[in-house]
Amino acid sequence: MSTKAYWYGQQFYFSGTYGVIRYLHQVQDDANVYSLSAGDNWTLTSRCAGNLGVQLNRAPSLITEQVGVGINYSTVTSASESAKCAVSNGYSLVFNSGWTKLFNTNALNAVNNSQTVMLSAGIEYAKGPDSLTALATTSDTNYGQRNALINAVGLANVVDYHSFSLNYVRQITPDLTVTGQVGLIGVSNAFSLGLPRTLLPTYSVSAAWTVTPKVALTASASRTVAPPTTVIANAETSYQTRVGLTYNISPKLTFGAGGSIGYSSAAFTPGLAGTIYAPYLTATNFYGVNATLSYSVTPFVSAALAATYTERERFA
């Protein structure tokens, strides 16, 4: 269910889904799943605009989204803010902030339970549909369930991420848009305004192409360094490539399909080698394909049928 309302130039929105998962034999893993999102797409005079929103999502983790095997339910609670204020001649100031809490039910994945606070600021230059944005970001991630024994093998309770990025958006034609990003990111185990000793490169490139009024294609490739989800570490380096297709069968019925292939490994965690956590520090390859069929019942209600296949291969 989703809805929007306008009030004095502000766009308020709400969307939500709810479902149940029931097992024939493993009834202890039965769960309710849901996704809620609400917020305000705000404007302030003719120069400033942005978003203020909150999200709550609980869903089972795919095997490519967790450390070990078995059933894990991940709950993500977040609040975020983004703002952009025009200065002059196409230049704008950009400010973003957010708070995110991650909770996993599986004991092994719970080592990565965390709470993150993020702040970023930068400047954007836009000309027509094209834009170039420079951002400096710092985020503080607190792993509250890591005890002294875990700390002794190199896992930190608090990890700070410092990143610098350039993002370029180019609309080649009205039907084809390309986005590229390059950056550097470093990690430290305590809050600091100084630069980390080691900076790793990050990048991403994506394209969206409306082939016909009914058919759209997307493709992307990226290298990221972020809080860990598929390894036990202070940070995780991931490479991923995705492709997707959307076909509008009718105004109410839409078919989608996609595939992904990726690789991930631990970063900034040298102390885990030779410990009991070493098997979850190793490199992992993962693959996935998916298909969806969605039907819009009313402007506020929709139904969907989805199928997903994922595979993971871990290397020592």
For the ranges 109-113, 149-153, 201-205, the lowest mean pLDDT is seen at 149-153
Q: What Rg do the C-alpha atoms of the chain give, in angstroms?
A: 21
- Which residues fall within 8 angstroms of residue 18, CB to CB, at 6 or more apart? 32, 33, 34
pLDDT in tens, 155-202: 788 888 899 999 999 999 999 999 999 999 988 775 555 566 778 899
Of the candidates 161, 160, 163, which has an alpha carbon nearest to the alpha carbon of residue 190?
160
Q: Give whole-number Cα distances, 192 to 50, 140, 144, in Å.
A: 29, 10, 20
Q: Which amino acid is at 260?
A: S
Contact predicate 157/146, CB 8 Å:
yes
Residue 196, pLDDT score = 65
DSSP label at residue 90: T
pLDDT in tens, 257-304: 999 999 888 877 765 555 555 555 567 888 999 999 999 888 777 788
When pLDDT is cut at 50, 70 and 90, the band that residue 135 belongs to is: very high
Contact predicate 102/114, CB 8 Å:
yes
pLDDT in tens, 15-62: 998 889 988 888 888 889 999 999 999 999 889 999 999 999 999 988
- Please state, for a pLDDT cut of 90, what percent of the chain lies above it: 52
Query: In the chain, what are the domains?
Result: 2-314 (2.40.160.40)
Residue 149 main-chain phi, psi, to 5 deg: -65, -40
Residue 123, pLDDT score = 96
Task: Give the torsion through C-alpha atoms of 156, 160, 166, 171, to 10 deg.
Answer: 70
When pLDDT is cut at 50, 70 and 90, the band that residue 99 belongs to is: very high
